[in-house]
Amino acid sequence: MQIIGIVGTAKNTGKTTALTSILDSLSKNEFSLGVTSIGYDGEDIDNLTFLPKPRIFLKEGVIIASSSLTFETSKIKYEILYETDIYTPLGKVIIAKVLEPGKIVIAGPNNIKDLKKIIALFKTLNTDFLFVDGAMNRMAPMYLADKVIFSTGASRSTEIKNIVEEISLISLIFNKNIMPQYDINNNCFFVKNGELQETEIKSLLTKDDLLKLFSYRPENYEKVVIKNIFSSAVVKEFVQEILKKKDTYEMVFLEPFRLLLSMNDITISGFRRMFTNSINISFIYKPSLIAITVNSFYPKYENFHFTAGYIDKYLLKKSVVEGVTVPVFDIFEEGSKDLVKLLF
Amino acid sequence: MAKNILCVPLDPVHDVGLKIIRNALLNKGHNVDLLMPDLPNEEIINFALKKKYDYILVSRTLGYGVYELLAKFIDLCDAAGIRDTAKLVIGGKPITPQLAAELGFDKGFSSSSSIEEIVSYIEGKEITSDMNKYKKVKKDFISEHSYQFFNKEIEQALNIIADKFLNWAKDKTSDGILRAELMRNYITSGKKDSKAYEEYLKLCDEEIKVCNTGERYIKGVRVIEEDELLKLDNFLQNRMAYQPVKIQHSNTHPLIFKFLGSGCPIMDIVHGKICERWGVDGFLLINPSWEARYEGLLHNYLTHQNDGTITSLENILLVKKYLLDGTYLTVRAHRGLNTPETTMLAGEAGADMTKINLVYGSLGAGTDPERLGVDGLQAIKYAAEYNMPFDIPGNDELSGVPAYKTLAGLLINVMIGLKIGAKPIPKPLFCYGPHIMINGQMDKNYIDYNYAKIQALREIADLPIWPGEPIAFMTQSEERVQSANATSYHSALAAFLGVDAITIASTDEAYSRGPICVASRIDSLRAVQDAFKFIGDTKIEPTKMCEVYKNEMIENIYSVLSSVAREDNLPQAIYKGILGNKEEDGAYPGTFGKGTVRCK
């Protein structure tokens, strides 16, 4: 089973549309498809802007993992395959098979631990693809995916420059190498002459954590492995400290989403200020970024309510293509035919 | 087992809610740490990592950028491994389960959640689902009363009046009664008995006939299109009131009724659904006044831009369909030439109650007393047959009839109803009526006289009592705040008196110059909710005048009833002005349907 994550950089960036389109393309080839989401999205009215939002249209045979209340409010016909012990504010998460096509709002597990359980259950159901719809800009559980697609667009920012700044950083980060040999425990450690120097530090959130980490620091180490979340300010200080003494240096993080999450300023220029060229970054594991989707729509606030607004879609796509190293699609314009090929 | 709880006020200042919750949890023996407000995410996470917490309670009001802030907080907790052991809970005024889910929390509590609920959740005692908790069950307030008369003189007079009336009416009928039966045959045959419908049309006025055959509609009336009904269905489906308000602060506080009658059943339904959210217990469906003047009713889903919603079977069914099972629906039928048919339609549509007053319907509302006598009696028979209690509005008081005459009229309806086997509910007014203005009973305060009416009725008999209609009539102005206040004061009096129900107006009811707006409906519901909480279980002490008014009232009621009892029959008493006259009370016997009563 392949786990495909779809991550939106903001609400209304078109990931539900992308997912619906991909499911549609794949269903023609009789794959066994599973769908869940991290938390809740795709409701008919956006809770914030009160603009209508697409619910996911699912065809017969698709298996979904969603909270019980969402089944009650959908018009879908389904057969319950499994009731989990996972609870969300919208009820118990249920795994069900769609019997007749229809629209549903999906509210799946909302954290890493529960998503792991759901993935394990889908594996027993011989699903070919499990799609995980990312809610809002929450992405921590997404590292469990094998492949990810990022959705961005005008809803993130109406300034194309800002969209490109962010998405090109994401592309850059997902391009980094993997160092799976460091998947040992949850603590940070140093590497000197290929040998591991363990510490008892988990996260690097405060100056205190940093001082403690430094107390474990051996002379002439070549790498530090940071196994949990960190605060940008602390890591910045760390980097500055290192660069006083060294020309090049290697930092290993657990996975790309935690790196993105821990940074206050997710732009490529911010990243370069923090990690200069002399810092090499790698990960212990990472999903592969296969594509980026762009959407020129955004909710425009005018006369005290929201209306549909659009930025220049051609310029948007062209600019994003120039800033990233993976294929870019405007699903509204071109559908998902070519994107689907990247799933195999 | 004691739980470890971390309280995190993400709000820049407000942490009162969390302090209250912390105290409640500490009292239950849990370990609670409360952080200072407005710490950065990193510091909170750092703190949360130090101890194995079972629950992290976050409070935050929503505003600019808060979604992103909360999403990041959740993500950081997840990435840091905090969610492996701790449940994340959000609390704040606008929090709904949908919002909590969308933000990625495990649970959400809003301002309408109680501290007990939060404590139960933390202690893992969450048993009742939210929806069941808010499910409303109709309160049977009628069977709480015995209908026993304590004032034997009044009971005797009423017996005479009711017996004479029933005897007078027993061999009489009207086109209104015939139409009701024909229509019932037509409906119960699944609309196949076309002969019954043809006969029905023959008994209708020309204006009604051409409407029902679809030739020409009157007064801007039009059929609601199928597409409009579908849109309504799409709009309402799956939309349940989230955490409906309970207005009553104690079990003895009255049920709250409002009018529906915008002219458009669709608007009525949407307003109705919103009022359900704000705690209303039931609605009175009010028909247009012109409906009373024609022989025959219109059928179909109908709307018009005018006061009153056309009470066709289809319209009543439509309103009934979308209201919650726990919401009462009463259909007004107490006046006009279609009183029996309207009651029958209400019964067939499954309405809970109907509204009939033989006296007011022919005094203040335009129908000939004889005609409403026979028609109203048939309507009460239908009410009994369909097991619909009928409420008796005392609104003749507003045309200038003194309260004691109005109350005498209510009691006559009560006795007739009881003899037919129906369940009558008298509705004395809480109002500043013309007779009171002139005679000054409310110059000092608004309490004594309204209070006296209720006490008088209670000394006479044990009856369900439902002040209306609406309460605070003629004390409200076009200022919405003043209007809401007036309603709330009167509702506080009603709550103290422990009456069974009250009808309340919207704050723009008398001044809207068109359909009332939904916000003003909420105004008065909220005003009453606060009034009930304010009065709680305390007492209101009237002045000594209350007792004086009450005794006068009982005496006068008896005197009026004795006069009525001396007449041959009730309509004759009404014609003579015993229950309200032209000269002093401004009450005119109605003329619609005069001379149309005939022998069977």
pLDDT at A314 over 70: yes
Report the C-alpha dihedral over residues B100, B106, B110, B114, rounded to 10 degrees. Answer: 170
Model ipTM?
0.87
CA distance B107 to chain A (A): 5
pLDDT at B13: 67
Q: To the nearest whole percent, how much of chain B has pLDDT over 70?
A: 96
pTM confidence score: 0.65
d(CA B322, CA A318): 51
Candidates A251, A260, A255; CA nearest to A278 is: A251
Interface test with A, best of B51, B73, B87, B102 (most A CBs within 10 A): B102
pLDDT at B449: 97
Using CB atoms within 10 Å of the CB of residue B3, give its burial: 0 to 12 exposed, 13 to 18 middle, 19+ buried: middle
CA angle (A33 as vertex; A29, A39 as ends), nearest 5: 145
Helices (H), B170-297: 175-188, 194-202, 206-212, 226-236, 265-277
Are the beta carbons of A88 and B106 separated by less than 8 Å? yes
d(CA B302, CA B291): 13
CB proximity B86 to A under 8 Å = no
d(CA A228, CA A204): 7
Report the length, in residues, of chain B.
600
Candidates A257, A43, A19, A27; CA nearest to A131 is: A19
Summarised one tens digit per residue, pLDDT across range B247-284 is 999 989 999 999 999 999 999 999 999 999 999 999 99
If you average pLDDT over residues A240-253, what whole number do you get? 83
Which amino acid does the sequence have at A307?
A: T
Give B5's strand partners: B32, B55
The two tokens of residue B276 are: 């359900």
The two tokens of residue B462 are: 């044990």
CB atoms within 10 A of CB A221: 19
Are the beta carbons of A140 and B75 separated by less than 8 Å? yes
d(CA A163, CA A324): 11
Phi-psi region of A127 (alpha: psi -120 to 50; beta: other; left: phi over 0): beta
pLDDT at B139 over 80: yes
pLDDT at B227: 92
Are the beta carbons of A205 and B46 separated by less than 8 Å? yes
If you average pLDDT over residues B461-486, what whole number do you get? 92
pLDDT at B104 over 90: no
If you average pLDDT over residues A51-76, what whole number do you get? 80
d(CA B457, CA B473): 20
Summarised one tens digit per residue, pLDDT across range B316-338 is 999 999 998 899 999 998 788 99
pLDDT at A273: 83
If you average pLDDT over residues B454-482, what whole number do you get? 93
Element (H, E) at A178: strand A177-178
Interface test with A, best of B58, B98, B237, B240 (most A CBs within 10 A): B98
Candidates A262, A49, A59, A33; CA nearest to A133 is: A33
Q: Is the peptide bond before B254 cis (omega within 30 degrees of 0)?
A: no
Summarised one tens digit per residue, pLDDT across range A139-178 is 899 999 999 999 999 988 999 999 999 999 999 999 999 9
Helices (H), B400-478: 403-420, 434-439, 447-460
If you average pLDDT over residues A296-304, what whole number do you get? 83
If you average pLDDT over residues A93-97, what whole number do you get? 96
CA angle (A8 as vertex; A7, A13 as ends), nearest 5: 145
Where b means 16+ CB within 10 Å and e means fewer, B557-582 reads bbebbbebbebebbbbbbeebbbbbe
pLDDT at B110: 82
pLDDT at B560 over 60: yes
Work out the pLDDT band at B569, boundaries 50, 70, 90: very high
Nearest to A48 among B67, B79, B108 (CB): B67
Are the beta carbons of B71 and A206 separated by less than 8 Å? no
Q: Are B80 and A229 in contact (CB under 8 A)?
A: yes
- What contacts B69, CB < 8 A, 6 or more positions away? B10, B41, B60
- Pairing status of strand A91-100 against strand A77-88: antiparallel
Mean pLDDT in chain B?
A: 90
Q: Which residue has the higher pLDDT, B64 or B251?
A: B251
Work out the pLDDT band at B239, boundaries 50, 70, 90: low
pLDDT at B579: 93
If you average pLDDT over residues B356-381, what whole number do you get? 91
Chain B: residue whose CA lies nearest to A139? B75
pLDDT at A51: 53
Candidates A126, A105, A100; CA nearest to A55 is: A105
CB proximity B20 to A under 8 Å = no
d(CA B572, CA B359): 11
Work out the pLDDT band at B40, boundaries 50, 70, 90: confident
Q: Please give the C-alpha separations between residue A92 and each of A70, A95, B106, B187, B580, in angstroms, as whole numbers.
A: 10, 10, 11, 45, 64
pLDDT at B240: 63
Phi-psi region of B514 (alpha: psi -120 to 50; beta: other; left: phi over 0): left
Q: Are B188 and B386 in contact (CB under 8 A)?
A: no
Least confident range of A209-213, B53-57, B81-85, B364-368: B364-368
Nearest to A137 among B68, B83, B84 (CB): B68
Beta strands in B187-346 (DSSP E): 222-223, 255-260, 282-285, 302-303, 328-332
Interface test with B, best of A36, A90, A138 (most B CBs within 10 A): A138
Q: Number of CB pairs < 8 Å for A and B?
A: 105
Residue with token string 């057969």: A79
- Chain mean position to CA B170: 34
Are the beta carbons of B98 and A112 separated by less than 8 Å? no
Are the beta carbons of B83 and A257 separated by less than 8 Å? no
Q: How many CA atoms lie within 13 A of B322 on its CB side?
A: 29
Nearest to B78 among A43, A111, A202 (CB): A111
If you average pLDDT over residues A300-320, what whole number do you get? 88
If you average pLDDT over residues A117-146, what whole number do you get? 90
CB proximity A325 to B under 8 Å = no
- What contacts A267, CB < 8 A, 6 or more positions away? A162, A165, A166, A169
Give A93's strand partners: A67
Chain A residues in contact with B104 by the CB 8 A cut-off are 38-39, 110-111, 135-136, 138
Nearest to B97 among A90, A139, A261 (CB): A90
Are the beta carbons of B74 and A205 separated by less than 8 Å? no
Q: To the nearest whole percent, how much of chain A has pLDDT over 90?
A: 46
At residue A202, the 3 state secondary structure works out as coil
Work out the pLDDT band at B146, boundaries 50, 70, 90: very high
If you average pLDDT over residues B76-88, what whole number do you get? 92
d(CA B429, CA B438): 17
Candidates A153, A141, A166; CA nearest to A312 is: A153
pLDDT at A198 over 90: no
Are the beta carbons of A110 and B238 separated by less than 8 Å? no
Work out the pLDDT band at B368, boundaries 50, 70, 90: very high
Element (H, E) at B385: helix B369-385
DSSP state, residue B89: E
CB proximity A154 to B under 8 Å = no
pLDDT at B85 over 60: yes
Element (H, E) at A322: helix A313-323
Q: Please give the C-alpha separations between residue A175 and each of A253, A256, B79, B543, in angstroms, as whole numbers.
A: 14, 10, 21, 86
pLDDT at A50 over 60: no
Work out the pLDDT band at A128, boundaries 50, 70, 90: very high
The two tokens of residue B463 are: 């009856």
CB proximity A190 to B under 8 Å = no
CA distance B220 to chain A (A): 33
Q: Are B542 and B441 in contact (CB under 8 A)?
A: no
Where b means 16+ CB within 10 Å and e means fewer, A132-157 reads bbbbbbbbbbbbbbebbbbbbbbbbb
Element (H, E) at A289: strand A288-295
- What contacts B290, CB < 8 A, 6 or more positions away? B218, B219, B306
Largest separation between any pair of C-alpha atoms in chain B = 92
What is the torsional sign of CA B590, B594, B596, B598?
positive
pLDDT at B201 over 90: yes
Chain B: residue whose CA lies nearest to A231? B42
Are the beta carbons of A112 and B101 separated by less than 8 Å? no
pLDDT at A325 over 90: yes
If you average pLDDT over residues B392-413, what whole number do you get? 93
If you average pLDDT over residues B523-538, what whole number do you get? 96
Chain B residues in contact with A107 by the CB 8 A cut-off are 101
CA distance B102 to chain A (A): 5
CB proximity A275 to B under 8 Å = no
- What contacts A86, CB < 8 A, 6 or more positions away? A92, A93, A109, A114, A117, A118
Q: Are A151 and A13 in contact (CB under 8 A)?
A: yes
Q: To the nearest whole percent, how much of chain B has pLDDT over 90?
A: 66
